[in-house]
């Protein structure tokens, strides 16, 4: 397990701590693109994401199983989490050093607009491939 690190929104009213992963993933789905206003680049916090008690966060339920957390003062997109709290990913941009999270994978690659591409080598999964992998993992954990 790595070190606990802190992150914050643009205005600074919302802070959090987490033990982030060593790398990052991009989700190209339309919800993540609308939520983040760009590419949502996240690191897996493995259940360690904790917002400050007085943080003015808003939570938006974006699907049956997922919700998104943002600062209600400045609107910074900070995290996606499963509604059961088991999966939590945070925006690498909220941490002090986004450089420490190399982007190694891209999901929902078939939902990406054709107007840009990442230049670095990544593992790419389509929406169907992602859900197939997710289902296989869930069965393994059950
Ligand atoms: Zn803020
Ligand atoms: Zn997404």
55: domain CATH number?
Answer: 2.170.150.70
| 56 CA → ligand 1 middle, Å | 8
Write out pLDDT tens, residues 92-109: 999 999 999 999 999 999
pLDDT exceeding 90 applies to what percent of the chain? 91
Answer whether residue 30 shows pLDDT above 90.
yes
Determine the pLDDT at residue 1.
Answer: 65
**More confident site: 130 or 140:** 130
Answer whether residue 142 shows pLDDT above 60.
no
Domain that holds residue 111: 5-137
Answer whether residue 47 shows pLDDT above 70.
yes
Name the burial class of residue 7, with classes exposed (0-12), middle (13-18) and buried (19+) by CB atoms within 10 angstroms of its CB: buried
104 φ/ψ angles, rounded to the nearest 5 degrees: -110, -15
Query: Per-residue pLDDT averaged across 75-96, rounded?
Result: 96
Four-point Cα dihedral 70, 104, 125, 121, nearest 10? 130
Number of domains in the chain: 1
| 81 CA → ligand 1 middle, Å | 18
Nearest ligand for residue 108 CA: 2
Answer whether residue 140 shows pLDDT above 70.
no
Nearest ligand for residue 36 CA: 2
Answer whether residue 70 shows pLDDT above 90.
yes
Q: Is 99 inside any structural domain?
A: yes
Q: Is 142 inside any structural domain?
A: no
Q: Is 74 inside any structural domain?
A: yes
Q: Is 44 inside any structural domain?
A: yes
- For residue 138, the number of C-alpha atoms closer than 13 Å in the C-beta half-sphere is 8
């Amino acid at each position: 397990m790595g070190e606990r690190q802190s992150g914050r929104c643009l205005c600074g009213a919302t802070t959090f701590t987490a033990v982030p992963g060593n790398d990052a993933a991009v989700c190209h789905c339309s919800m993540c693109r609308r939520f983040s206003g760009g590419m949502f680049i996240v690191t897996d916090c493995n259940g360690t994401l904790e917002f400050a008690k007085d943080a003015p966060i808003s939570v938006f339920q974006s699907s049956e199983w997922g919700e998104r957390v943002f600062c209600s003062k400045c609107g910074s997109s900070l995290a996606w989490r499963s509604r059961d709290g088991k999966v939590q990913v945070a925006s690498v941009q909220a941490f002090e050093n986004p450089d420490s999270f190399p982007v190694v994978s891209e999901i929902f690659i078939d939902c990406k607009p054709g107007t840009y591409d990442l230049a670095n080598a990544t593992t790419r999964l389509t929406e169907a491939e992602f859900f197939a992998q997710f289902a296989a993992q869930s069965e393994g954990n059950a």
